[in-house]
Amino acid sequence: TDVLSVLQVRLVMKAHSFIRENVPRVLSSVKDKSSTVPIPRVSQYLYFLFAPTLIYRDNYPRNPAIRWGYVATKFAQVLGSLFYAYYIFVRLCIPQFRNSSQETFNLRGLVLCIFNSILPGVLILFLVFFAFLHCWLNAFAEMLRFADRMFYK
């Protein structure tokens, strides 16, 4: 359910950007009674939905070709990050809580368990950041030939 919530928030943000960019243009052309109303094409909106950006534009800078080796490398890095996060979770987090589940509940044991899981949790968060925000978005940007790769600004 968390993944669905994140996807819904992303779609709401993209819809907001799309409306914010296009409604003023349409209203001004209606107000000026111009013969052509600048309505974006469906293909422009679909490209925007899959492009790794939250700012709608009618046209984005595009690369001339797709580097499939780069895409494969980024997807391999995503898989490697997932396997490494799984390894950290299984080796460092699960044993902490498995040992505490066999004992009677005490606050000291719970606090120690949580503090021993903080460093592995931070490592997993860094891996998720790297896997999704760097590798996944760059792979899709390359497949869409999206040239503006300023994800971190």
Instruction: Identify the CA nearest to 48 among candidates 38, 33, 58.
Output: 58
Instruction: Tell me what pLDDT residue 149 has.
Output: 76
Query: Is residue 151 within 8 Å of residue 52, measured between CB atoms?
Result: yes
If you average pLDDT over residues 109-124, what whole number do you get?
86
Bigger pLDDT: 150 or 41? 41
pLDDT in tens, 32-88: 777 777 788 899 999 999 888 888 998 888 999 999 999 999 999 999 999 999 999
Instruction: Tell me what pLDDT residue 81 has.
Output: 95
Q: How far is Cα 58 from Cα 133, in angstroms, rounded to an integer? A: 24
Band (124; pLDDT cuts 50, 70, 90): very high
Q: Give the pTM.
A: 0.73
Instruction: Tell me what pLDDT residue 100 has.
Output: 67
Concatenated DSSP letters for 98-139?
HHHHTSPP-HHHHHHHHHHHHHHHHHHHHHHIIIIIIIIHHH
